Every structure is written in structure tokens, then in C-alpha cells.
Structure 1
């Protein structure tokens, strides 16, 4: 009995040890299960965040494709000069907008289909048998393509294009392509010539109304259009005119891009008529001469080998679909649902465009890539400039109009801050590298050169630390400059603006005048004392979006300045990268907008009522749109 009792402690210890080990194991299992669940939850949250980010990027890509490749309905709206919901003329901003130096010059929409995403999506490296990898692979596969967006082909890049299929369908898609050439490109920069057979006259006659089919020699008695089997003299006349132009281009030296119109030659039934003129073969192979051909043939095997692209209307997989093939590096195949137009719609479009002409037939509408501020101000030599000459010019209104840029080679864009013209308060928007700060400085310098310091003072606020306005401090017009908006300086800037508004109110009250115009007309105040000069105060704020993120109270104060500034002679100019962040109360007090390239359609619409400022190229900083409340874009 004593032996059994002596073993009880050992058994108890063993049971306790086993129990502790079991408890520890169970705790480890629970901890592991909890960690696995937390990992799964965290992983799913990460996947969901990635999904939302991919959806946002997909929307941006879709928006870009849709805006840059408008459908036929929008093209007709442009031709008709219709206005959008904001009252801005669609035609004013988009008609003949593509220039020879633009990347989308002769980039033509062919229909709608799926495009590979421009994003690189790499699923995480996890166990190949894990469900997690299935979720990540499904997510990556979901966003490999941007679905149902415009498909386009760059005619200048492919050189020439073949359209293979039944005549009726070929003509329908050809008309859609010609619409885009006529709407997006000015006649001075693209000319269209066409040759066709008699039995399809009705499908081609509308081209006669397009200004793009006028001959290059200026003879308005004919068009660059001919029927193979009608009048041989007409045919030879068009061929002779085109041959003369091709010969001239062959003899030209150097890069002529942008100096001569691109020729687009349409050749119907090319497989039957290719031997009728050596000109046709020259045109198909004329890429270096700024010549492209569009050849209509019944089958892909009939497409000339020199064509860098083709549209196959037979192998698209269904009667509605077609196949686009592009050769060379970056080429490939795309299946799409083709855009088609009717002859009746084409005739309407051509008649709408027939009377439209460029502002200056010799190229005066051409917009320079660079412009010098002194040239706009007619100052040939800065060293010889005497400011008193311009400052001394009589000023009937409150402001002289000042140039801020160029609308064309011979027309400056002038801003007139007088109320009733461009108005009192404005905004400049531009993404990084778009030239926003340069435009802001040019505007301020132009104002300073045209107005005496007794008529104009600057208060300059730069949230980035003073880089923009560094050299402006030496101007006699600069009454104050804030370059580091710490909390203390932000408070001081607010106090300074409020104090200046109150000071001006007191001066007007003492003079017995309701506004600055009346104050300037009066010579003495109500007590017979001479009035002190009251210059307009121009408050310019750079990086305004960053400022209001850190100091949102600034916006509310500026709304007050915007409302009261008109009568007090206080003006606001806000420079920002994200105009869509600005409060409506402040936007309602603005009367003019200058938008360079911006980052989103929303920012562009906030500035000019159109998405086009988001589509401006990065290769032309300083290019943009101007809008005011009275005359639009």
C-alpha cells in the first residue's frame, strides 16, 4: 500500500505536466488560427484596396480613351457648334484641334472593343495551392483589359491603311474615318483626295462640300475628287495636281512636318485600278512625304503590302465586328465593333463644315510653341526699356488690358481686368511641368509693366517657400510677400488682408464714395482734404490647393475678399494644381480662368467647362485654354 501511495505525487505531476502541455498546445493552435484569420482578413482587405485602386485607374484610362476618341454623335455636335450643359461651345474647343506636332494627329477611331490595360499587375508570390493566389490571379485577370472602349489606329504611324470587305460596309466605316479627319484637322494641315467607281456616286458626293478637298493650288473651280470611269480629263486634272505636289515634296529637303498639309488619298476598288496611275503606288508608300492612302479592297489578300495596317470586315467573328491589324513594333490585332455612318449624316456634316474657314488663310491661326513676354509688350530691348513711358499712358478705365500669351502667330491673348470685360478675380490651373508658375509670373510682370505703382500693388503669397516670387520682391509694386505659411505667418496674412479691407472702407467712407472708381474721380474728401492715392491691390497666391489643405480657414476669408473686393479695388488670382478642391462660394466670385494641362477631367471641367485641358500634351508646356464669364472659352 505504501508503494502505491508513493507513486501518487508522480502521477499527479505527470497529469499536471500533460495538462499544461495540452493547454499550451491548444493555446498555440488558437493563436495560430487567430493569426491565420487575421492574415486572411488583412489579405482580403489588401486585395479590396488594390481592387478599388485598379478600378480608379481603369476609370481614368476609360475616360482618356472616351474623351480623346469622341463618337460620331459628338462629332456632329462639334460640327453643329452645339453647347454642353455648362453653356460652353463644344466646337470652339474641339473643331480642328489636332495639330501636326500632336501625338494624336491623324489618330482615328475605328470602333469599340477591349484594349490591354497600360497597368502592370503582379500578383504576390504565395503558395500556388492557396486560395489566396486564386483571388489575386482573378483580380489581375479582371483588369488585364479595359472593356468596351474606343479602338483607334494612327494613320500617320501606319503610313497607309487597307479596308477589306464588302463595298457597303467598307464605305460606312470609311465615312466614319473621314468624319474624324475633317472634324479633328484643319484643311490647312490635312487635305483629302478620293477616287471611286460610278455605281457608288451617292456615297462620295458629300466630300465636295468639305474644305479639305480643295486643291492645294488654290483653284476653287474643282476638287481633289474623281471617278475612275467618268471624265478622263477630270481624272487627269486631279492626278496632275497631286503628282505635282508629290514631285515638289520629293525635291524638298529637311524635315517638313507641320510646314505642309498631310495628304490622305482614298482609293476605292484599288485591286482593280492600281495600274491606272503610278501616282497611286507613290501615295501608298508616301509616309516620309506626309502622304497616306486608304485603300478599299474586297479581301485582306488584296491589301497592298506597303500598308502598315488593315481593317478586315470579314474575319471579325460576326457581321457587326471587324479586325484591326497593325504591322511592325508595337503592332498586333484587335477585334472591335465598327463605327458606321450614313451618307445622309455625312452630307449634313460636310455642309456644316463648308463655310468654316481659318481665321487667316496664310496660317495666322498657327499657334507658336514659344512666345516672349517682351515681344508681346512690344519692348525690343529690356535694357533700353523706360517704365515711365508705359506708366504715363492715359488710363480711361481702371486697367489697361495686358498680354499673357498668344492665340496665334499674330494675335496676343490679352486679359482685361475691368469689370464687365474679363472681371475682377481669376484662377490659373496647371499640373507639375505645365507652366503654371511661369504663366503666373508673366501675368504679374505684364501688369507691372503697364501700370504705375500708384495704380497697382501686389500682395504675393507662395506656399512653396518663395521660389515663384523671389525676384518679384524688388518691384516697386510689391507691398508685401509671404513665403512661408507657418501657423504664425498664416495668421499674420489673414490679419493683413482684413486690415487692408477695413482701411479701404474707411478711406471710401471719408471720401464719401461708394467704390474705388468714385474715389479716383474725386479730388478731395468731404472735409476738403486732398485724397491719397489708392492703388488696386492684386493678391496672387501660388500653390493655393496646398495652402487650403493645411489652412482651410483661408478659403472662408478669401470668400469675403472676393465679395467685397470689387468695390474696394482688391483682386484675387489663385494658382492651383487641383481646382476641383476649391469651395463653390469662392468659385462663384471668379470671372476668368486660365487652364494649362491638368491632371483630371474634373479639374479641367472646373476650369473651362470641358475635359480638354486634361488631354493637353506634356511636350508643349504653356499651352492651355482661357475662359471668362462673358464670352466663354
Structure 2
């Protein structure tokens, strides 16, 4: 299984902007003291009868002192406050830069994680042959959560300010910068937006006809790529004129009933209405029903977590979740791209469907492997005849390799299947069945594997 590590969801505290500096009272006392000293000097000169008191130039000096003091009184405190404001701005903006870098790194890691967990739809066909195929079992954190497009999602590392912060009462430069940081890093833009199908029993895709079809193709291919046929089933309710558009569904393993098999594989799940689609799908799976071109009237699905009906187009109804092209950038796949993905998946079968531990031993007729030697021998009719599994009726399915004249279907046979379809497992089942039913005196097996020997690894011949 492909293991992914989700970045932590944390709140990143951001300090409030510093207050605007105000002129100090000490700074205002200096020009006042200068005025007092100047006045005292003039009074002393006049009191002493100094000749300077009759000199007009003498009055120029105190006048200049008065003007200078008044100027300092009016502007000196402001300049000092401006200098302090510039220093505090520089420090706080540098602090915001460091916080922004931390948030940017976290956003990049979250974006990468989201894209890896929910890749673009045009890359799904590449995952069919990897360990990521059907990785989302029922206990997986992302089971039945599928990507619907690109849009805004909440950031994992979210910047927050103290609850008592009053941004409007502080320096407008630093408060505006803080607000831009809060707005810019609270969400991720152009990130995968997902929908939890377990919490969405009714989903409607709205937009033009071609867009919603391409959108639905992307959703279904993503669902089929990451979920096994044993966990998710895909059924279709289609109008006559829409069936050709969805012919590619026949390649999806999820679009078949693993309990019912005909000459070309599992019976396909295409129905005339939603009721029969829900009734005809195997229980125990999450059922997704695609509805195109017909009335989507269905039984009350409120509270259901095992069913999702996806309707294409039309007006929304009460209780439906609606996704609209334009509110987000929808994922789309062309019919050719969807068919390519589906055909890649068609080569694989979920070997866990319908299997429980002990099935094979039950078919052999024992409950303890140690009792197998007691099954050696038997009637002539049971010779070279071994069970392979169960029919859709529940009856055992046997392989009899005796010659046709003795009532068998042998002695020669041919097993054909694509890579990963289960040929090696079938051959191992036949070999073990023969070993369980026949003693070494009755049967010898020669096991030859021209593909590396993995098919019969650890199997001992008699």
C-alpha cells in the first residue's frame, strides 16, 4: 500500500502589530525650558542696565531662541515619533516575512501531499499497474473520498492573531501587511477539492452537457482506480440515447456483479431506474449509481452511507449536494482517456471478492490441514478431480483432468489470462488440490515455470 503522511493541522500564532509611538512629555519640556532661560537672560540684562539693552541687535537673539523653541515644541516630538515608528515597522515587517516563509513552506508541503493523494485524472491510467491500485480499503482515511477539481481548501497551517487584537487601531502599514498575510495563507488556492461520497447520498453535477459528462468520467475513473470491486460497485441508469456515451464502463471491474458471471465475465450493472440499480448491486459494497438522461427519482437515501447517486445536469432538489462547473475548476476526462484507464484496470481482478478464510479447506472437506492425508484415495470418479471454487449458485466448481472416456475433461488444458488476472493462483490451487486428494504412490507432479519460478515458490512436488 502506498503510505502518505498528511502535514499536521496547526494554528500558527502571529503577534499583533506594534502600537503607533506617541511624543513623550520629556521631549516637550526641552523647548519650554529654552524659552524660560531666554526670558531670564533678557530680564537680567534690563535689570543691570547693560548697554546691550539699547542695542536693537540684542533683541534678535532672544527672538531667534523663541522661534526655535516654538518650532521644536511643534515638530520635535513628531519627528522622534516618526523615527521610532520607522524602527518598529522595520522590525515587525521582518518578523512577518519570517512567519510568511514558514507558512509558505507548510502550504507547499500540503499542496504536494494533496496532489499525491488525489492525482490529476489524466495520470490515473499510469497507476493501474502499481501498488496504488485499489489502495483505499474500507478502513483507509480516504475511502470513498474523491477529487472533484481544483479550488480553495483550508490551509493546514493557519495563521491566527490574538483574540483581543484590534488591527484597525494600529499603524495602517503594518496592519495592512498583517491582513494580507492572514488572507493569503488561510487557504490553499488551486488545490485538489474532494467530496466524501459516504456523506453524499445524492450528488448532482451541473454545467453544460459535455462538461458534466467529462467531469463524471473523471470521478468514476478515480473511484475505480483507488477502490477494489469488493469495496465499491459502479452501476448506471441511462437513457437509450446515452448508452453509447458510457459504453466504456463495461471495462471497469467495479461495473460488474462478482456473484454473477456469464460467458464474458461478471454481469454488467446497467439498469432502467435507480430502484433496480440499488436492488441489483451486491450488498456490502459502497454503491455509486450514475444517472444520465432519465429521472433520478429514488427511494429516500437520507442517512445512507453506502450509496451515492450521481445525477448529470438538471435542477437541484432538496437534500442533494450540487457541484457546479465554474465554482471550481472541474476535473475532466475525454471518452478515450476514460476508456484507456478502464481497459488498464480490466486486466485485474479482486481475488478477495467472495473469499473467506477456510473456503478451500471446506471444499476439500477438512477443517484442519493436518487431516489432509486422510483424504487420500477415494472412488474412481474422484481421481484427478479437484475443487477450484464455487459457482454463482453456491455449488462447488471442480476441475477433472481425467480423459474424456473416463468422464473427465483432460488430460490436457490451457489457462489464459492477462498479467495479474490470477493464473498462478489457479495453478497453485490445482496443484494443492491434487496433493490433498492423492498419495505420492498415486500421483507425481512436475512443476515447471518458465517465468522465473514464482508461480510454484515453496510448493513441494510429490
Using the size of structure 1 for normalisation, the TM-score is 0.42
Does residue 42 of the first structure (1) align with residue 95 of the second (2)?
A: no
Residue 103 of structure 2 aligns with which residue?
Answer: 54
Which residue, out of 262, 267, 271, partners 1:223? 267
Per the alignment, in what secondary structure is the counterpart of residue 170 of structure 1? helix
Call closer, same or farther: CA 1:364–1:30 in 2, change over 3 Å: farther
Per the alignment, in what secondary structure is the counterpart of residue 135 of structure 1? helix
Residue 356 of structure 1 aligns with which residue?
Answer: 348
- 2:331 and 2:259 mapped to 1: Cα distance? 34
Deviation string 1:168-224 (CA, Å, 9 cap, x unpaired) is 322211111100110111111101111212223332111111111121524345534
The residue correspondences of 1:159-308 to structure 2 (distance < 5 A) are 159-220=201-262, 223-226=267-270, 228=272, 242-243=278-279, 260-271=284-295, 274=297, 281-282=298-299, 285=301, 287-288=303-304, 290-297=306-313, 299-300=314-315, 303-307=316-320
Does residue 311 of the first structure (1) align with residue 355 of the second (2)?
A: no
Residue 460 of structure 2 aligns with which residue?
Answer: none
Deviation string 1:429-472 (CA, Å, 9 cap, x unpaired) is xxxxxxxxxxxxxxxxxxxxxxxxxxxxxxxxxxxxxxxxxxxx
Q: How much does 1:41 deviate?
A: 1.0
- 1:201 and 1:240 mapped to 2: Cα distance? 17
The ranges of structure 1 where at least 4 consecutive aligned residues each deviate by more than 6 angstroms after the TM superposition are 13-30
Does residue 152 of the first structure (1) align with residue 165 of the second (2)?
A: no
Higher relative contact order (CA 8 A, sep 6+): 2
Higher Cα Rg, which structure? 2
Deviation string 1:301-338 (CA, Å, 9 cap, x unpaired) is xx34342x1123xxxxxxxxx15xxxxxxxxxxx1122
Does residue 101 of the first structure (1) align with residue 139 of the second (2)?
A: yes
Per the alignment, in what secondary structure is the counterpart of residue 219 of structure 2? helix
Deviation string 1:94-114 (CA, Å, 9 cap, x unpaired) is 211112223322112122223
CA contact under 8 A between 1:175 and 1:341: conserved in structure 2? yes
Flag structure 1 segments of 5+ consecutive residues without an equivalent.
Answer: 82-90, 229-234, 250-259, 275-280, 313-321, 324-334, 366-633
Per the alignment, in what secondary structure is the counterpart of residue 215 of structure 1? strand
Per the alignment, in what secondary structure is the counterpart of residue 119 of structure 2? coil
Per the alignment, in what secondary structure is the counterpart of residue 293 of structure 1? strand
Residue 160 of structure 2 aligns with which residue?
Answer: 121
CA contact under 8 A between 1:192 and 1:224: conserved in structure 2? no
CA contact under 8 A between 1:202 and 1:343: conserved in structure 2? no
Equivalent pairs counted in the alignment come to 301
Q: CA RMSD in A?
A: 3.8
Per the alignment, in what secondary structure is the counterpart of residue 160 of structure 2? coil
Q: How much does 1:364 deviate?
A: 7.3
The residue correspondences of 1:269-418 to structure 2 (distance < 5 A) are 269-271=293-295, 274=297, 281-282=298-299, 285=301, 287-288=303-304, 290-297=306-313, 299-300=314-315, 303-307=316-320, 309-312=321-324, 322-323=325-326, 335-362=327-354
Q: How much does 1:240 deviate?
A: 5.8
Residue 432 of structure 2 aligns with which residue?
Answer: none
Per the alignment, in what secondary structure is the counterpart of residue 261 of structure 2? coil
Does residue 77 of the first structure (1) align with residue 87 of the second (2)?
A: no
CA contact under 8 A between 1:270 and 1:296: conserved in structure 2? no
Residue 255 of structure 1 aligns with which residue?
Answer: none
